[in-house]
Amino acid sequence: MPPPDPFSVVHVGADEVQDSPAYRFDNARREGRFALVIQRTLAGAAWYRGAAGIQPVPAGQAMLFTHAEPTSYGYPPGSTEPYRLRFLAFSGAGTKDLFARVRADFGSVVRMPDESEAAALFNEAVERYRKRQFRDRLHESELIYRLLIALYREQVQGTRTSDPIEFGHHYVRNHFRSPVNLKGVAQKCGVSREHFIREFSGRYRESPGLMLRRLRLEHARAMLTATVLSVQEIALASGFTSSNTFCRAYRTRFGKSPGAER
């Protein structure tokens, strides 16, 4: 059996206007079970029902779903404003996991305001589909991947004000290779260092300091086995300020020195 095709393909991209409660879809009964869908509200609103219950999807937001899940969406009963939408349906093993990660971390209803990078990439993908302007499958895959990365990044930024502790969690995961410290991360979050450590530890069952060190050591261990870089270079590339600090932390975590690991 051949391996899954890693490249994405856009199956359809289009605009619609709906103004009746009869507009309703049960995704579990849809055809095209391979499809991943991003459906953005341009005006008016829709509703989406998933694991979190029923959520409104107003203008500037989008719903993410597949055609193989027990979710549904439609036009809100009692609404008087037409629901204008734009949707993009695509598939590909290379983007399936990233699509699922966006939903797992931020839910199936996400922010996608007009001025955002994600909205621009989303609109470009729809227009290129309409005009048959993708150069090839690689171009198609690249654009979809960039869209999902931009969408993820913008949800992270949104948590900076809505949930500073979650923002700090993402910040540590995304910047551990830089020489960041907990005081600086807390400042990015707009909270005190003590508050950040206490709330982070309670929520994620691991202190931010332990998480930061774990990510750095795991990254360094991979580099030790996959590169010929010196221990000093690996230490700096993994976020440690010196090789001495790195070697001590490595021996404590793994029971051997970086040199012995090699």
Which of 130, 159, 188 is a domain's end point?
159
- Which CATH number characterizes residue 236's domain? 1.10.10.60
- The model's pLDDT over 88-101, given as tens digits with 9 standing for 90+, comes to 999 998 899 999 99
Is the same domain home to 85 and 34? yes
Is the same domain home to 131 and 190? no
Count of domains observed in the chain: 2
Question: Which domain, by its residues, includes 199?
Answer: 164-261
- Which CATH number characterizes residue 69's domain? 2.60.120.280
Which of 108, 138, 159 is a domain's end point?
159
Residue 3 lies in a domain: no
**Assigned token pair, 158:** 């949104």
Is the same domain home to 78 and 152? yes
N-term to C-term CA, the chain: 37
Query: What is each CA distance from 65 to 120, 154, 194, in whole angstroms?
Result: 20, 19, 39
Is the same domain home to 150 and 180? no
Distance CA 122, CA 111 (A): 13
What's residue 118's pLDDT?
98
* Longest Cα separation, the chain: 70
Which of 120, 144, 159 is a domain's end point?
159
Per DSSP, what are the bridge partners of residue 72? 26, 49
Query: What is each CA distance from 178 to 155, 174, 181, in whole angstroms?
Result: 21, 9, 9
Is the same domain home to 96 and 151? yes
- The model's pLDDT over 204-253, given as tens digits with 9 standing for 90+, comes to 999 999 999 999 999 999 999 999 999 999 999 999 999 999 999 999 99
- pLDDT at residue 68 is higher than 90: no
What's residue 195's pLDDT?
97
Is the same domain home to 99 and 143? yes
Average pLDDT over the chain reads 95
Residue 193 and residue 229 in contact, taking contact as beta carbons nearer than 8 Å: no
